[in-house]
Amino acid sequence: MRLLHTMIRVGDLKRSIAFYTEVLGMSLLRQKDYPTGRFTNVFVGYDDESKTAVLELTHNWDTSHYELGNGYGHIAIAVEDIVKTCDDIRQRGGKITREPGPMKHGSTMIAFAEDPDGYKIEFVQR
């Protein structure tokens, strides 16, 4: 078995694609409209879906905003240089919500950003 993707619902598809591709540097892997269901699925990631898990952005055409609820945590991305990653995200217009530093009760270096819909993205220094 292998993890394929994680799906999140987004309110503004163009804005979300721009964030994940231009700010976080993912590639747009594929996109498909489903007119009878009135939704679009977009897959983004750092490598081909045959090699790694990716992120599915689902845009329901008639919904512009979602409540995130309290069960959702975050998406985690491994990075080589957490300080540079956060600086690059800021320069590209992204929002860092937790500056790089050790995690609470541990020594792993982490930071957090937020996407345009409010989803949290954790960066973990590798």
Residues 45 and 80 in one domain: no
Q: Tell whether pTM > 0.75.
A: yes
pLDDT at 69 over 90: no
**80: pLDDT strictly greater than 90:** yes
Mean residue pLDDT of the chain comes to 95
Q: What is the pLDDT of residue 112?
A: 97
Number of domains composing the chain: 2
Catalytic residues: 122
Does residue 121 share a domain with residue 88?
yes
Judge whether 65 lies within some domain. Answer: no
Structural domain that includes position 12? 5-60
Residues 53 and 86 in one domain: no
Identify whether the C-beta of residue 63 lies closer than 8 Å to the C-beta of residue 16: no
What span, in angstroms and rounded, lies between the C-alpha atoms of 97 and 121? 9
70 domain-assigned: no
- The mean pLDDT value for 50-75 works out to 92
CA distance 62 to 126: 40
Quick: pLDDT tens for 14-49. Answer: 999 999 999 999 999 999 999 999 999 999 999 999
Phi, psi (rounded to 5 degrees) for 68: -75, -25
Do 85 and 51 share a domain, yes or no? no
117 and 79, same structural domain?
A: yes
pLDDT at 85: 97
Query: Taking Cα atoms as reference points, which of 76, 117, 66 lies closest to residue 98?
Result: 76
Q: pLDDT by residue (tens digit) across 85-99? A: 999 999 999 999 999
- State yes or no: pLDDT of 51 exceeds 80: yes
32 part of a folded domain: yes
Residues 56 and 90 in one domain: no
CATH number at residue 56: 3.10.180.10
Q: Which H or E element spans position 112?
A: strand 109-114
Strand partners of residue 60: 39
Residue 1: the pLDDT is 74
